[in-house]
Chains A and B, each alone.
Chain A
Amino acid sequence: MRTPAPLWRSLRRSPSGIAGVTLMLLFVGVGLLGPVLAPFEVDDLAGIPGQAPGARFLLGTDALGRDILSRVLHGARISLVVAGGAVGLGTAVGLLVGLVSGYRGGRVDLLAQRLVDVVTAFPPLVLLLVAVRVAGPSAGTVVAVIGLVIAPGVARVVRGAVLVERALPYVEASRALGGSDARIIFRHILPNIVPVVIVVATTLLAAAMLAEASLSFLGLGVPPPNPSWGADVAAARNVFPVNVSQALFPGLAMALAVLGVTLLGDWLRDLLDPRLRSRVR
Protein backbone atom coordinates (compact mmCIF):
# COMPACT_ATOMS: atom_id res chain seq x y z
CA MET A 1 0.00 0.00 0.00
CA ARG A 2 1.01 3.54 -0.64
CA THR A 3 1.93 6.11 1.96
CA PRO A 4 -0.58 8.89 2.69
CA ALA A 5 1.43 11.63 0.96
CA PRO A 6 0.71 10.57 -2.68
CA LEU A 7 -2.85 9.88 -1.62
CA TRP A 8 -3.27 13.50 -0.62
CA ARG A 9 -1.44 14.75 -3.68
CA SER A 10 -3.62 12.68 -5.99
CA LEU A 11 -6.74 13.92 -4.26
CA ARG A 12 -5.72 17.54 -4.67
CA ARG A 13 -5.39 17.05 -8.38
CA SER A 14 -8.80 15.43 -8.77
CA PRO A 15 -11.83 17.70 -8.38
CA SER A 16 -14.24 14.77 -8.63
CA GLY A 17 -12.19 12.98 -5.98
CA ILE A 18 -12.55 15.97 -3.67
CA ALA A 19 -16.28 16.11 -4.34
CA GLY A 20 -16.56 12.38 -3.65
CA VAL A 21 -14.63 12.52 -0.39
CA THR A 22 -16.58 15.59 0.75
CA LEU A 23 -19.97 14.03 0.03
CA MET A 24 -18.85 10.76 1.61
CA LEU A 25 -17.64 12.52 4.79
CA LEU A 26 -20.92 14.42 4.90
CA PHE A 27 -22.87 11.18 4.51
CA VAL A 28 -20.91 9.35 7.20
CA GLY A 29 -21.07 12.39 9.49
CA VAL A 30 -24.84 12.67 9.15
CA GLY A 31 -25.16 8.90 9.49
CA LEU A 32 -23.35 9.04 12.83
CA LEU A 33 -24.68 12.35 14.15
CA GLY A 34 -28.02 12.65 12.31
CA PRO A 35 -30.20 12.09 15.38
CA VAL A 36 -28.20 14.74 17.27
CA LEU A 37 -28.39 17.29 14.44
CA ALA A 38 -32.06 16.74 13.72
CA PRO A 39 -34.28 19.44 15.24
CA PHE A 40 -37.11 16.94 15.85
CA GLU A 41 -37.58 13.29 16.74
CA VAL A 42 -38.31 10.90 13.85
CA ASP A 43 -41.96 10.42 14.72
CA ASP A 44 -42.65 13.78 16.32
CA LEU A 45 -45.91 15.08 14.83
CA ALA A 46 -44.53 18.58 15.27
CA GLY A 47 -46.42 20.64 12.73
CA ILE A 48 -49.40 20.97 10.44
CA PRO A 49 -49.31 18.25 7.76
CA GLY A 50 -48.02 19.18 4.30
CA GLN A 51 -46.40 22.49 5.19
CA ALA A 52 -44.11 24.04 2.56
CA PRO A 53 -40.44 24.57 3.45
CA GLY A 54 -40.13 27.48 5.86
CA ALA A 55 -38.32 28.88 8.89
CA ARG A 56 -39.47 26.32 11.46
CA PHE A 57 -39.47 23.31 9.14
CA LEU A 58 -36.61 23.96 6.74
CA LEU A 59 -37.74 21.28 4.26
CA GLY A 60 -41.42 21.36 5.18
CA THR A 61 -43.54 18.69 6.86
CA ASP A 62 -44.84 15.38 5.56
CA ALA A 63 -48.44 14.18 5.38
CA LEU A 64 -48.44 13.40 9.10
CA GLY A 65 -46.88 16.72 10.10
CA ARG A 66 -43.41 15.33 10.77
CA ASP A 67 -40.34 17.44 10.00
CA ILE A 68 -38.92 16.22 6.66
CA LEU A 69 -35.41 17.49 7.45
CA SER A 70 -35.32 15.42 10.63
CA ARG A 71 -36.53 12.32 8.76
CA VAL A 72 -33.82 12.81 6.13
CA LEU A 73 -31.11 13.26 8.78
CA HIS A 74 -32.24 10.18 10.69
CA GLY A 75 -32.54 8.18 7.47
CA ALA A 76 -28.84 8.51 6.72
CA ARG A 77 -28.06 6.15 9.58
CA ILE A 78 -30.17 3.27 8.20
CA SER A 79 -28.65 3.70 4.77
CA LEU A 80 -25.11 3.87 6.16
CA VAL A 81 -25.48 0.99 8.62
CA VAL A 82 -27.34 -1.38 6.28
CA ALA A 83 -25.21 -0.72 3.20
CA GLY A 84 -21.98 -0.62 5.21
CA GLY A 85 -22.85 -3.84 7.02
CA ALA A 86 -23.90 -5.56 3.81
CA VAL A 87 -20.71 -4.57 2.00
CA GLY A 88 -18.62 -5.66 4.99
CA LEU A 89 -20.31 -9.05 5.05
CA GLY A 90 -20.36 -9.46 1.28
CA THR A 91 -16.70 -8.50 0.94
CA ALA A 92 -15.63 -10.86 3.72
CA VAL A 93 -17.55 -13.82 2.27
CA GLY A 94 -16.59 -13.02 -1.32
CA LEU A 95 -12.95 -12.52 -0.39
CA LEU A 96 -12.75 -15.86 1.39
CA VAL A 97 -14.49 -17.76 -1.40
CA GLY A 98 -12.47 -15.99 -4.09
CA LEU A 99 -9.13 -16.56 -2.34
CA VAL A 100 -9.71 -20.26 -1.73
CA SER A 101 -11.36 -20.84 -5.09
CA GLY A 102 -8.64 -19.05 -7.06
CA TYR A 103 -5.74 -20.48 -5.09
CA ARG A 104 -6.93 -24.05 -4.84
CA GLY A 105 -8.44 -24.43 -8.29
CA GLY A 106 -9.78 -27.87 -9.23
CA ARG A 107 -12.97 -29.18 -7.73
CA VAL A 108 -13.28 -26.52 -5.03
CA ASP A 109 -13.02 -23.84 -7.68
CA LEU A 110 -15.55 -25.53 -9.95
CA LEU A 111 -18.09 -25.89 -7.15
CA ALA A 112 -17.61 -22.30 -5.99
CA GLN A 113 -17.92 -20.92 -9.49
CA ARG A 114 -21.13 -22.83 -10.22
CA LEU A 115 -22.55 -21.50 -6.94
CA VAL A 116 -21.58 -18.00 -8.06
CA ASP A 117 -23.28 -18.68 -11.42
CA VAL A 118 -26.54 -19.64 -9.73
CA VAL A 119 -26.64 -16.60 -7.44
CA THR A 120 -25.73 -14.20 -10.24
CA ALA A 121 -28.33 -15.80 -12.53
CA PHE A 122 -31.07 -13.94 -10.66
CA PRO A 123 -31.80 -10.31 -11.42
CA PRO A 124 -30.49 -8.88 -8.12
CA LEU A 125 -33.69 -7.14 -7.07
CA VAL A 126 -35.75 -10.30 -7.63
CA LEU A 127 -33.45 -12.36 -5.42
CA LEU A 128 -33.42 -9.64 -2.78
CA LEU A 129 -37.22 -9.48 -2.67
CA VAL A 130 -37.62 -13.25 -2.32
CA ALA A 131 -34.83 -13.60 0.24
CA VAL A 132 -36.05 -10.76 2.44
CA ARG A 133 -39.59 -12.12 2.27
CA VAL A 134 -38.38 -15.55 3.31
CA ALA A 135 -36.11 -14.33 6.09
CA GLY A 136 -38.62 -11.74 7.35
CA PRO A 137 -37.88 -8.02 7.04
CA SER A 138 -35.61 -6.69 9.78
CA ALA A 139 -32.39 -4.68 9.74
CA GLY A 140 -30.36 -7.84 10.29
CA THR A 141 -31.92 -9.85 7.47
CA VAL A 142 -31.69 -6.95 5.02
CA VAL A 143 -27.97 -6.63 5.78
CA ALA A 144 -27.43 -10.38 5.46
CA VAL A 145 -29.42 -10.71 2.26
CA ILE A 146 -27.81 -7.77 0.46
CA GLY A 147 -24.41 -8.97 1.68
CA LEU A 148 -24.92 -12.46 0.32
CA VAL A 149 -26.27 -11.18 -2.99
CA ILE A 150 -23.19 -9.01 -3.60
CA ALA A 151 -20.68 -11.59 -2.34
CA PRO A 152 -20.43 -13.50 -5.68
CA GLY A 153 -19.37 -10.32 -7.45
CA VAL A 154 -16.51 -9.91 -5.01
CA ALA A 155 -15.61 -13.60 -5.24
CA ARG A 156 -15.39 -13.44 -9.01
CA VAL A 157 -13.10 -10.41 -9.07
CA VAL A 158 -10.92 -11.74 -6.24
CA ARG A 159 -10.60 -15.13 -7.94
CA GLY A 160 -9.42 -13.46 -11.12
CA ALA A 161 -6.84 -11.41 -9.24
CA VAL A 162 -5.64 -14.47 -7.30
CA LEU A 163 -5.17 -16.43 -10.52
CA VAL A 164 -2.84 -13.70 -11.75
CA GLU A 165 -0.91 -13.45 -8.49
CA ARG A 166 -0.63 -17.21 -8.04
CA ALA A 167 1.43 -17.51 -11.21
CA LEU A 168 3.98 -14.89 -10.09
CA PRO A 169 7.50 -15.87 -8.96
CA TYR A 170 7.11 -14.51 -5.42
CA VAL A 171 4.46 -17.13 -4.69
CA GLU A 172 6.73 -19.87 -5.95
CA ALA A 173 9.57 -18.42 -3.89
CA SER A 174 7.48 -18.52 -0.75
CA ARG A 175 6.46 -22.09 -1.46
CA ALA A 176 10.08 -23.08 -2.07
CA LEU A 177 10.93 -21.62 1.33
CA GLY A 178 8.34 -23.95 2.87
CA GLY A 179 5.51 -21.42 3.29
CA SER A 180 2.15 -23.05 4.06
CA ASP A 181 -0.90 -22.42 1.85
CA ALA A 182 -2.48 -20.26 4.55
CA ARG A 183 0.71 -18.21 4.85
CA ILE A 184 0.96 -17.73 1.10
CA ILE A 185 -2.71 -16.74 0.80
CA PHE A 186 -2.90 -14.36 3.72
CA ARG A 187 0.62 -12.97 3.99
CA HIS A 188 1.56 -12.75 0.34
CA ILE A 189 -1.41 -12.84 -2.02
CA LEU A 190 -3.95 -10.97 0.10
CA PRO A 191 -1.90 -7.77 0.53
CA ASN A 192 -1.39 -7.65 -3.20
CA ILE A 193 -5.07 -7.82 -4.06
CA VAL A 194 -6.23 -5.34 -1.41
CA PRO A 195 -6.42 -2.46 -3.94
CA VAL A 196 -8.76 -4.49 -6.17
CA VAL A 197 -10.93 -5.37 -3.19
CA ILE A 198 -11.16 -1.74 -2.06
CA VAL A 199 -12.28 -0.63 -5.51
CA VAL A 200 -14.91 -3.38 -5.79
CA ALA A 201 -16.18 -2.76 -2.27
CA THR A 202 -16.65 0.95 -2.97
CA THR A 203 -18.61 0.23 -6.15
CA LEU A 204 -20.74 -2.26 -4.26
CA LEU A 205 -21.39 0.23 -1.47
CA ALA A 206 -23.29 2.39 -3.95
CA ALA A 207 -25.17 -0.68 -5.20
CA ALA A 208 -26.00 -1.77 -1.65
CA MET A 209 -27.35 1.67 -0.76
CA LEU A 210 -29.60 1.66 -3.82
CA ALA A 211 -30.67 -1.92 -3.03
CA GLU A 212 -31.64 -1.04 0.54
CA ALA A 213 -33.61 1.99 -0.62
CA SER A 214 -35.33 0.04 -3.42
CA LEU A 215 -36.35 -2.71 -1.01
CA SER A 216 -37.72 -0.13 1.43
CA PHE A 217 -39.52 1.59 -1.42
CA LEU A 218 -41.23 -1.68 -2.36
CA GLY A 219 -42.15 -2.34 1.27
CA LEU A 220 -39.62 -5.06 2.08
CA GLY A 221 -36.85 -3.06 3.70
CA VAL A 222 -35.97 -2.25 7.28
CA PRO A 223 -39.42 -2.01 8.92
CA PRO A 224 -40.80 1.17 10.53
CA PRO A 225 -40.40 3.12 12.76
CA ASN A 226 -36.85 3.19 11.34
CA PRO A 227 -36.84 6.03 8.79
CA SER A 228 -35.54 4.83 5.43
CA TRP A 229 -35.17 7.20 2.50
CA GLY A 230 -36.73 4.63 0.18
CA ALA A 231 -39.78 4.08 2.38
CA ASP A 232 -40.26 7.84 2.80
CA VAL A 233 -40.36 8.36 -0.97
CA ALA A 234 -42.86 5.50 -1.24
CA ALA A 235 -45.05 7.04 1.47
CA ALA A 236 -45.11 10.33 -0.44
CA ARG A 237 -46.75 8.63 -3.41
CA ASN A 238 -50.01 8.12 -1.55
CA VAL A 239 -50.39 11.70 -0.36
CA PHE A 240 -53.12 14.00 -1.65
CA PRO A 241 -52.82 16.82 -2.43
CA VAL A 242 -49.37 16.25 -3.89
CA ASN A 243 -46.53 16.99 -1.45
CA VAL A 244 -43.40 17.20 -3.59
CA SER A 245 -41.06 17.98 -0.67
CA GLN A 246 -41.85 14.67 0.96
CA ALA A 247 -40.61 12.73 -2.07
CA LEU A 248 -37.95 15.18 -3.25
CA PHE A 249 -35.69 15.51 -0.22
CA PRO A 250 -35.21 11.91 0.95
CA GLY A 251 -34.43 10.89 -2.64
CA LEU A 252 -32.12 13.86 -3.13
CA ALA A 253 -30.21 12.88 0.02
CA MET A 254 -29.96 9.35 -1.33
CA ALA A 255 -28.76 10.54 -4.75
CA LEU A 256 -26.10 12.80 -3.20
CA ALA A 257 -24.85 10.01 -0.95
CA VAL A 258 -24.63 7.53 -3.84
CA LEU A 259 -22.99 10.20 -6.00
CA GLY A 260 -20.35 10.70 -3.31
CA VAL A 261 -19.65 6.99 -3.07
CA THR A 262 -19.46 6.64 -6.86
CA LEU A 263 -17.06 9.56 -7.27
CA LEU A 264 -14.96 8.22 -4.42
CA GLY A 265 -14.89 4.81 -6.10
CA ASP A 266 -13.81 6.31 -9.43
CA TRP A 267 -11.00 8.22 -7.79
CA LEU A 268 -9.86 5.18 -5.79
CA ARG A 269 -9.84 3.08 -8.95
CA ASP A 270 -7.67 5.60 -10.75
CA LEU A 271 -5.38 5.73 -7.74
CA LEU A 272 -5.16 2.06 -6.81
CA ASP A 273 -5.39 0.20 -10.07
CA PRO A 274 -2.04 0.76 -11.76
CA ARG A 275 -3.16 -1.33 -14.72
CA LEU A 276 -5.89 1.19 -15.48
CA ARG A 277 -3.67 4.14 -14.68
CA SER A 278 -1.05 3.24 -17.23
CA ARG A 279 -3.66 2.80 -19.91
CA VAL A 280 -6.35 5.43 -20.07
CA ARG A 281 -6.43 8.59 -18.03
Chain B
Amino acid sequence: MLTYAARRAALAVLVVWAVSLAVFVLLRVLPGDPALTGLGAGATAEAVARARAELGLDDPLPLQYGRWIADLVRLDLGASMLDGVSVTAEVGRRLPVTVELLVLTMVWTVTLGIPAGVFAARRRGTPPDGAIRLGAVVGLAIPSFWVATLVLMLPQQWWGYAPPLDGAVGLFEDPLANLRQFLPPSFVLAAAPAATVARLTRTTLLEVLGADFVRTARAKGLAEHMVVTRHALPNAMIPVATLLGLQAGALLGGTIIAEQVFNLGGLGQYLLRAILQQDVAVAQTLVLGFAAAAVFLNLAVDLSYGWLDPRVRRP
Protein backbone atom coordinates (compact mmCIF):
# COMPACT_ATOMS: atom_id res chain seq x y z
CA MET B 1 0.00 0.00 0.00
CA LEU B 2 2.79 2.36 0.92
CA THR B 3 4.72 1.76 -2.29
CA TYR B 4 1.47 2.14 -4.20
CA ALA B 5 0.83 5.46 -2.49
CA ALA B 6 4.37 6.62 -3.18
CA ARG B 7 4.11 5.68 -6.84
CA ARG B 8 0.79 7.48 -7.21
CA ALA B 9 2.14 10.57 -5.48
CA ALA B 10 5.22 10.59 -7.72
CA LEU B 11 3.03 10.34 -10.79
CA ALA B 12 0.89 13.23 -9.55
CA VAL B 13 3.96 15.40 -9.07
CA LEU B 14 5.11 14.47 -12.58
CA VAL B 15 1.72 15.42 -14.04
CA VAL B 16 1.76 18.76 -12.23
CA TRP B 17 5.23 19.44 -13.59
CA ALA B 18 4.06 18.65 -17.14
CA VAL B 19 1.06 20.91 -16.54
CA SER B 20 3.38 23.74 -15.49
CA LEU B 21 5.31 23.37 -18.76
CA ALA B 22 2.08 23.31 -20.76
CA VAL B 23 0.72 26.39 -19.00
CA PHE B 24 3.97 28.27 -19.45
CA VAL B 25 4.18 27.52 -23.17
CA LEU B 26 0.46 28.21 -23.71
CA LEU B 27 0.64 31.64 -22.12
CA ARG B 28 3.83 32.57 -24.01
CA VAL B 29 2.02 32.16 -27.32
CA LEU B 30 -0.76 34.46 -26.17
CA PRO B 31 -1.11 37.13 -28.83
CA GLY B 32 0.01 40.62 -27.85
CA ASP B 33 2.77 41.91 -25.61
CA PRO B 34 2.26 41.26 -21.88
CA ALA B 35 4.45 44.30 -21.17
CA LEU B 36 1.63 46.43 -22.55
CA THR B 37 -0.78 45.04 -19.95
CA GLY B 38 0.27 47.46 -17.24
CA LEU B 39 1.15 50.33 -19.55
CA GLY B 40 -1.85 50.58 -21.81
CA ALA B 41 -1.92 50.77 -25.59
CA GLY B 42 -0.53 54.32 -25.80
CA ALA B 43 2.85 53.46 -24.26
CA THR B 44 6.03 54.67 -25.95
CA ALA B 45 8.41 52.12 -27.45
CA GLU B 46 10.95 53.13 -24.84
CA ALA B 47 8.61 52.48 -21.91
CA VAL B 48 7.63 49.11 -23.38
CA ALA B 49 11.29 48.13 -23.74
CA ARG B 50 11.95 49.13 -20.14
CA ALA B 51 8.93 47.17 -18.91
CA ARG B 52 10.00 44.12 -20.90
CA ALA B 53 13.45 44.25 -19.37
CA GLU B 54 12.01 44.73 -15.88
CA LEU B 55 9.63 41.80 -16.26
CA GLY B 56 12.42 39.66 -17.66
CA LEU B 57 10.52 39.10 -20.89
CA ASP B 58 13.67 39.46 -23.00
CA ASP B 59 15.40 36.56 -21.31
CA PRO B 60 15.46 33.13 -22.96
CA LEU B 61 12.30 31.11 -22.27
CA PRO B 62 13.98 28.35 -20.23
CA LEU B 63 15.40 31.03 -17.92
CA GLN B 64 11.96 32.65 -17.54
CA TYR B 65 10.44 29.27 -16.78
CA GLY B 66 13.14 28.43 -14.26
CA ARG B 67 12.69 31.77 -12.51
CA TRP B 68 8.91 31.30 -12.32
CA ILE B 69 9.25 27.84 -10.76
CA ALA B 70 12.00 28.96 -8.37
CA ASP B 71 9.77 31.83 -7.19
CA LEU B 72 6.80 29.48 -6.83
CA VAL B 73 8.77 27.11 -4.67
CA ARG B 74 9.66 30.03 -2.39
CA LEU B 75 5.96 30.98 -2.35
CA ASP B 76 6.78 34.26 -4.06
CA LEU B 77 3.98 34.51 -6.59
CA GLY B 78 5.12 37.83 -8.03
CA ALA B 79 2.90 40.82 -8.66
CA SER B 80 -0.04 41.46 -10.93
CA MET B 81 0.95 43.16 -14.17
CA LEU B 82 -2.29 45.13 -14.05
CA ASP B 83 -2.12 46.84 -10.67
CA GLY B 84 1.17 45.70 -9.17
CA VAL B 85 -0.59 44.10 -6.20
CA SER B 86 1.29 41.13 -4.73
CA VAL B 87 -0.25 37.89 -5.97
CA THR B 88 0.64 36.14 -2.72
CA ALA B 89 -1.37 38.67 -0.72
CA GLU B 90 -4.26 38.55 -3.17
CA VAL B 91 -4.36 34.75 -3.14
CA GLY B 92 -4.28 34.75 0.65
CA ARG B 93 -7.28 37.06 0.69
CA ARG B 94 -9.25 35.18 -1.98
CA LEU B 95 -8.44 31.56 -1.16
CA PRO B 96 -10.90 31.29 1.77
CA VAL B 97 -13.74 32.44 -0.47
CA THR B 98 -13.12 29.74 -3.07
CA VAL B 99 -12.47 27.06 -0.47
CA GLU B 100 -15.67 27.87 1.39
CA LEU B 101 -17.65 27.85 -1.84
CA LEU B 102 -16.17 24.48 -2.81
CA VAL B 103 -16.69 22.91 0.61
CA LEU B 104 -20.31 24.07 0.81
CA THR B 105 -20.96 22.82 -2.71
CA MET B 106 -19.53 19.41 -1.87
CA VAL B 107 -21.62 19.33 1.32
CA TRP B 108 -24.76 19.95 -0.74
CA THR B 109 -23.62 17.39 -3.30
CA VAL B 110 -23.16 14.66 -0.72
CA THR B 111 -26.18 15.44 1.46
CA LEU B 112 -28.54 15.71 -1.50
CA GLY B 113 -27.05 13.27 -3.98
CA ILE B 114 -26.37 10.19 -1.85
CA PRO B 115 -29.69 10.03 0.07
CA ALA B 116 -31.61 10.68 -3.15
CA GLY B 117 -29.76 7.85 -4.87
CA VAL B 118 -30.29 5.45 -1.96
CA PHE B 119 -33.96 6.34 -1.72
CA ALA B 120 -34.48 5.84 -5.45
CA ALA B 121 -32.67 2.50 -5.45
CA ARG B 122 -34.72 1.15 -2.56
CA ARG B 123 -37.95 2.13 -4.27
CA ARG B 124 -36.99 1.12 -7.76
CA GLY B 125 -39.77 1.40 -10.30
CA THR B 126 -42.07 3.44 -8.06
CA PRO B 127 -43.16 7.03 -8.75
CA PRO B 128 -40.65 8.47 -6.18
CA ASP B 129 -37.86 6.66 -8.04
CA GLY B 130 -39.10 8.10 -11.31
CA ALA B 131 -39.29 11.57 -9.83
CA ILE B 132 -35.73 11.40 -8.50
CA ARG B 133 -34.40 10.09 -11.80
CA LEU B 134 -36.18 12.84 -13.70
CA GLY B 135 -34.96 15.43 -11.21
CA ALA B 136 -31.40 14.16 -11.65
CA VAL B 137 -31.54 14.44 -15.44
CA VAL B 138 -32.94 17.96 -15.13
CA GLY B 139 -30.18 18.81 -12.64
CA LEU B 140 -27.63 17.69 -15.20
CA ALA B 141 -29.20 19.71 -17.98
CA ILE B 142 -29.68 23.13 -16.43
CA PRO B 143 -26.70 25.42 -17.01
CA SER B 144 -25.36 26.75 -13.70
CA PHE B 145 -24.76 30.25 -15.08
CA TRP B 146 -28.43 30.46 -16.00
CA VAL B 147 -29.79 29.34 -12.63
CA ALA B 148 -27.32 31.61 -10.87
CA THR B 149 -28.47 34.56 -12.95
CA LEU B 150 -32.14 33.79 -12.26
CA VAL B 151 -31.47 33.34 -8.53
CA LEU B 152 -30.27 36.93 -8.53
CA MET B 153 -32.92 38.30 -10.88
CA LEU B 154 -36.18 36.79 -9.70
CA PRO B 155 -36.14 38.11 -6.11
CA GLN B 156 -35.30 41.49 -7.58
CA GLN B 157 -38.29 41.24 -9.92
CA TRP B 158 -40.71 39.91 -7.33
CA TRP B 159 -39.74 41.65 -4.10
CA GLY B 160 -37.16 44.20 -5.17
CA TYR B 161 -34.61 42.28 -3.09
CA ALA B 162 -31.01 42.14 -4.24
CA PRO B 163 -28.46 40.19 -2.19
CA PRO B 164 -25.26 42.04 -1.31
CA LEU B 165 -22.93 41.82 -4.30
CA ASP B 166 -19.91 43.75 -3.10
CA GLY B 167 -17.47 40.98 -2.29
CA ALA B 168 -17.65 38.26 0.34
CA VAL B 169 -17.96 38.81 4.07
CA GLY B 170 -15.62 36.61 6.12
CA LEU B 171 -17.15 33.54 7.75
CA PHE B 172 -15.82 34.55 11.16
CA GLU B 173 -16.63 38.25 10.88
CA ASP B 174 -20.34 37.78 10.38
CA PRO B 175 -21.38 34.14 9.95
CA LEU B 176 -24.98 34.96 9.10
CA ALA B 177 -24.19 37.47 6.37
CA ASN B 178 -21.51 35.12 5.10
CA LEU B 179 -23.89 32.20 4.75
CA ARG B 180 -26.51 34.39 3.11
CA GLN B 181 -23.90 35.11 0.47
CA PHE B 182 -22.53 31.59 0.06
CA LEU B 183 -25.56 29.32 0.34
CA PRO B 184 -27.26 30.35 -2.92
CA PRO B 185 -24.20 30.00 -5.18
CA SER B 186 -23.09 26.74 -3.57
CA PHE B 187 -26.58 25.31 -3.94
CA VAL B 188 -26.70 26.30 -7.60
CA LEU B 189 -23.25 24.85 -8.25
CA ALA B 190 -24.20 21.60 -6.54
CA ALA B 191 -27.12 20.83 -8.87
CA ALA B 192 -25.11 19.03 -11.54
CA PRO B 193 -22.70 17.10 -9.27
CA ALA B 194 -25.52 16.11 -6.89
CA ALA B 195 -27.48 14.79 -9.87
CA THR B 196 -24.49 12.79 -11.08
CA VAL B 197 -23.88 11.41 -7.59
CA ALA B 198 -27.55 10.45 -7.18
CA ARG B 199 -27.54 8.59 -10.48
CA LEU B 200 -24.36 6.69 -9.74
CA THR B 201 -25.42 5.89 -6.17
CA ARG B 202 -28.68 4.46 -7.45
CA THR B 203 -27.02 2.34 -10.12
CA THR B 204 -24.22 0.93 -7.97
CA LEU B 205 -26.51 0.32 -4.99
CA LEU B 206 -28.95 -1.61 -7.18
CA GLU B 207 -26.05 -3.64 -8.48
CA VAL B 208 -24.74 -4.40 -4.99
CA LEU B 209 -28.24 -5.20 -3.70
CA GLY B 210 -28.33 -8.00 -6.24
CA ALA B 211 -25.12 -9.57 -4.92
CA ASP B 212 -24.95 -12.87 -3.08
CA PHE B 213 -23.71 -11.44 0.21
CA VAL B 214 -26.76 -9.18 0.39
CA ARG B 215 -29.01 -12.20 -0.07
CA THR B 216 -27.10 -13.88 2.75
CA ALA B 217 -27.52 -10.85 4.98
CA ARG B 218 -31.25 -10.84 4.32
CA ALA B 219 -31.48 -14.59 4.80
CA LYS B 220 -30.00 -14.40 8.25
CA GLY B 221 -32.83 -12.07 9.16
CA LEU B 222 -31.20 -8.65 9.24
CA ALA B 223 -33.53 -5.68 9.09
CA GLU B 224 -33.60 -4.13 5.65
CA HIS B 225 -32.09 -0.83 6.81
CA MET B 226 -29.18 -2.76 8.35
CA VAL B 227 -28.69 -4.66 5.10
CA VAL B 228 -28.56 -1.39 3.19
CA THR B 229 -26.49 0.74 5.56
CA ARG B 230 -24.05 -1.88 6.88
CA HIS B 231 -23.64 -4.27 3.97
CA ALA B 232 -24.69 -2.75 0.68
CA LEU B 233 -23.88 0.94 1.06
CA PRO B 234 -20.18 0.70 1.97
CA ASN B 235 -19.63 -1.38 -1.14
CA ALA B 236 -21.67 0.92 -3.32
CA MET B 237 -19.81 4.02 -2.12
CA ILE B 238 -16.45 3.13 -3.66
CA PRO B 239 -17.21 4.29 -7.22
CA VAL B 240 -19.13 7.23 -5.74
CA ALA B 241 -15.97 8.33 -3.90
CA THR B 242 -14.03 8.39 -7.17
CA LEU B 243 -16.80 10.41 -8.74
CA LEU B 244 -16.80 12.90 -5.87
CA GLY B 245 -13.07 13.49 -6.39
CA LEU B 246 -13.57 14.09 -10.09
CA GLN B 247 -16.52 16.37 -9.42
CA ALA B 248 -14.55 18.44 -6.94
CA GLY B 249 -11.83 18.89 -9.54
CA ALA B 250 -14.30 19.96 -12.20
CA LEU B 251 -16.03 22.28 -9.71
CA LEU B 252 -12.83 24.32 -9.51
CA GLY B 253 -13.86 25.51 -12.96
CA GLY B 254 -17.47 25.99 -11.88
CA THR B 255 -16.42 28.36 -9.09
CA ILE B 256 -15.35 30.82 -11.79
CA ILE B 257 -18.95 31.13 -12.95
CA ALA B 258 -20.52 31.28 -9.49
CA GLU B 259 -17.98 33.78 -8.18
CA GLN B 260 -18.41 35.93 -11.25
CA VAL B 261 -22.22 35.99 -11.07
CA PHE B 262 -22.39 36.54 -7.30
CA ASN B 263 -19.26 38.72 -7.25
CA LEU B 264 -17.71 36.87 -4.34
CA GLY B 265 -14.17 37.93 -5.16
CA GLY B 266 -12.56 34.49 -5.00
CA LEU B 267 -9.72 32.91 -6.91
CA GLY B 268 -11.92 31.94 -9.85
CA GLN B 269 -12.83 35.54 -10.49
CA TYR B 270 -9.19 36.54 -10.11
CA LEU B 271 -8.23 33.95 -12.70
CA LEU B 272 -10.93 35.10 -15.09
CA ARG B 273 -9.76 38.70 -14.83
CA ALA B 274 -6.15 37.65 -15.39
CA ILE B 275 -7.07 35.63 -18.47
CA LEU B 276 -9.34 38.27 -19.96
CA GLN B 277 -6.92 41.16 -19.34
CA GLN B 278 -3.75 39.30 -20.22
CA ASP B 279 -2.20 39.40 -16.78
CA VAL B 280 0.21 36.61 -17.67
CA ALA B 281 2.01 36.48 -14.33
CA VAL B 282 -1.22 35.93 -12.42
CA ALA B 283 -2.82 33.67 -15.03
CA GLN B 284 0.04 31.17 -15.23
CA THR B 285 0.30 30.80 -11.47
CA LEU B 286 -3.44 30.45 -10.94
CA VAL B 287 -4.00 28.02 -13.80
CA LEU B 288 -1.20 25.86 -12.44
CA GLY B 289 -2.69 26.17 -8.96
CA PHE B 290 -6.17 25.09 -10.13
CA ALA B 291 -4.78 22.13 -12.07
CA ALA B 292 -2.51 21.07 -9.19
CA ALA B 293 -5.45 21.27 -6.78
CA ALA B 294 -7.50 19.02 -9.07
CA VAL B 295 -4.65 16.51 -9.44
CA PHE B 296 -4.04 16.24 -5.70
CA LEU B 297 -7.77 16.01 -4.96
CA ASN B 298 -7.97 12.99 -7.23
CA LEU B 299 -4.82 11.56 -5.69
CA ALA B 300 -6.36 11.91 -2.25
CA VAL B 301 -9.46 10.06 -3.41
CA ASP B 302 -7.40 7.27 -4.99
CA LEU B 303 -5.46 6.84 -1.77
CA SER B 304 -8.63 6.85 0.31
CA TYR B 305 -9.52 3.55 -1.39
CA GLY B 306 -7.28 1.76 1.04
CA TRP B 307 -9.45 3.07 3.82
CA LEU B 308 -12.77 2.55 2.06
CA ASP B 309 -12.03 -0.81 0.52
CA PRO B 310 -10.03 -3.23 2.64
CA ARG B 311 -9.45 -5.42 -0.42
CA VAL B 312 -7.07 -2.78 -1.82
CA ARG B 313 -5.05 -2.70 1.41
CA ARG B 314 -3.70 -6.17 0.82
CA PRO B 315 -0.55 -6.08 -1.32
Contacts and interface: CB of A to CB of B under 8 A. Distances in A.
Interface stretch (A95-103, A169-177, A186-194, A259-267): A259-267
B48 interface: no
A260 B261 CA distance: 26
Interface string B133-164: 01001101111111101101110110000000
B202 to A, nearest CB: 9
A142 to B, nearest CB: 15
A122 B276 contact: no
Interface residues of B, number: 56
A233 B260 CA distance: 13
A122 B154 contact: no
Given A122-B19, A218-B257, A16 B143 contact: no
Interface residues on A, range: 35 or more
Given A244-B154, A258-B141, A126 B146 contact: no
Contact of A118 (B19, B141, B251): B19
Contact of A217 (B27, B138, B140, B257): B257
B150 A123 contact: no
Contacts of B278: 133
B250 A130 contact: no
Contact of B291 (A16, A123, A219): A123
B41 interface: no
Interface of B: 11, 14-16, 18-19, 22-23, 26-27, 29-31, 134, 137-138, 140-147, 149-150, 152-154, 156-157, 203, 206-207, 210, 249-254, 256-257, 260-261, 271-272, 275-276, 278, 283, 287, 290-291, 294-295
Given A122-B19, A242-B153, A279-B210, 9 more contacts: A118-B22, A121-B15, A121-B18, A123-B294, A134-B29, A206-B141, A242-B157, A252-B146, A280-B207
7 contacts: A206-B141, A217-B143, A218-B145, A218-B272, A247-B150, A251-B143, A262-B141
